[in-house]
Amino acid sequence: MADSGTTPGKFVARLVWVVIGVLVIGLGSGLLKAINVGVDPYTAANIGISNLIGWDLGSYQLLSNLVLFIPMLIWGRKYIGIDSIVNMVFARVRDPVLRGSAVSARAG
């Protein structure tokens, strides 16, 4: 795995910033979806496919990320760090935000 910091303190600081970043991305996507502006293409595809097959978004996005993670294990192992894992797994946590339960910007 990639170097994730030389000391435990740097590792924890990096982990905290990764979690904050993932949550901000989730809130931003949720806000864009709630105000009907649209989301990024990858999230839009995941929303469409998860609706089509009847899965919740978080579960489908986790599966999608796992599938995409396999080539990274084969050809890009040196680029994988704790941040890669956290971002992949937190897709499940971002699901309620993207469904609009955490962000309610609907007029009316």
Is residue 27 within 8 Å of residue 102, measured between CB atoms?
A: yes
pLDDT greater than 60 at residue 65: yes
- The pLDDT value recorded for residue 106 is 43
Q: Which residue has the higher pLDDT, 66 or 94?
A: 66
3-state secondary structure of 34: helix
Question: Among 89, 106, 99, 98, which Cα is nearest to 28's?
Answer: 98
Per-residue pLDDT band for 107 (boundaries 50, 70, 90) equals very low
- The pLDDT value recorded for residue 98 is 54
Question: Among 19, 2, 24, which Cα is nearest to 81's?
Answer: 2
